[in-house]
Chain A
């Protein structure tokens, strides 16, 4: 039986992979991919909790179903898209300045 713990485990693995990606990549876009992985892990958690949080609780008659987790996940997707756009714009600017995408070279971003 697939339950909440399965999804939480998957989310934990995705989060760990995202953190390891952030820590071990020198390519700035690779780090961005790690951030996307972590955001996806958070999304899986939110949707899974939204799905399973009805269990046991007596649902009020006539009340609208709870979709708060889905709302959070949708806003996270929107924010991830915005964050990716801004990050890539910054990386493009960085590449124009330094002719590389290596973050080891990003020690003097201010000038």
Chain B
């Protein structure tokens, strides 16, 4: 099958409008009718747009920051032979019938949309290409670790199950952001998608399904509560002293604060999943199938029991 790329000859479109490869693909016809290449604006907005002083100043360098508007050799060859006339800046970007060229949107809106991603701190936050943790400000770690710890404490000390779910949301979100600092961006995404988007929603549904009043309080006696908190605190302190400090040899800073080695990519994760961890991956798939069937079966319950329960109630 052959794709014939035809560029419709619109006299309204300025002949010197830049076309990158994607733009030419957008305008490509596959032996079909011409695609619409304009976005309608109501006439009133069109007039106001015409009265505007001019396009944003970023348009002066359309191909500078984001690489939009650079013409490829193909489009240059396609553009060759067209009449090139100097056009007014309004005439260049607004058609006579009140329609705005899509190129205008691509050239003027895309820089504003893509601008945050060109900033250094966002790239550091997303942990792209950062071999060490040094670019990450410590206060960012403390911020998200504080969110996670406060959420966990809220889970412990809250007595209402719905509030516990909300606090758990904060903890999971904070831990997901900490994964960014650990250069585990994929795991952070998985954490947000599976935990926050899946497991937590499941838990909230469980809360709603298992209580007539979602703010019901099921409290334990104060003595048992204090005992539980004490055991939790003791476990934390035990892990801190035995784990962290013994691992550090009693000296703060003995644990590594900097990792070497090259940064892995998503491809390494995929190779490991399909190579070294192929069997666990398959087992996880089988487990998920079994869990899906089993959860549906268990949650449904036996029909006799359900009928009996309805008869009692």
Contact = CB atoms under 8 A, between A and B. Distances in A.
| Mutual binders A and B | yes
Interface of A: 1-21, 23-30, 32-34, 36-37, 40, 43-44, 47-48, 50-57, 59, 64-68, 70-71, 73-75, 77-82, 84-86, 88-93, 95-97, 99, 101-102
A67 B272 contact: yes
Interface stretch (B81-89, B98-106, B244-252): B244-252
Nearest to B236: A16
Given A3-B257, A20-B232, A92 B209 contact: yes
Contact of B168 (A16, A36, A53): A36
A88 B243 CA distance: 33
Contacts of B313: 99
Interface of B: 133-134, 136, 138, 141, 145, 148-149, 152-153, 155-156, 161, 164-165, 168, 171-172, 175, 178-179, 181-184, 186-187, 190-191, 194-195, 198-199, 202-203, 205-207, 209-211, 218-220, 224-225, 227-229, 231-233, 235-237, 239-240, 243-244, 247-248, 252-253, 255-264, 268-269, 271-273, 276-277, 280, 284, 287-288, 291-292, 294-299, 301, 305-306, 309, 313
B18 to A, nearest CB: 40
A51 B182 contact: yes
A5 B299 CA distance: 42
Contacts of B153: 17
A67 B297 CA distance: 36
A29 B252 CA distance: 39
B291 A10 contact: no
B169 to A, nearest CB: 10
Given A8-B243, A37-B155, A93-B298, A81 B184 contact: no
A54 B259 contact: yes
Contact of A9 (B164, B232, B240): B240
A36 B231 contact: no
B210 A3 contact: no
A57 B295 contact: no
B260 A20 contact: no
A7 B182 contact: yes
Given A10-B149, A20-B232, A29 B210 contact: yes
A5 B255 contact: yes
Contacts of B291: 82, 85-86
Nearest to B179: A47
Contacts of A36: 168, 172, 195, 199, 203
A85 B313 CA distance: 27
A24 B229 contact: yes
Nearest to B230: A20
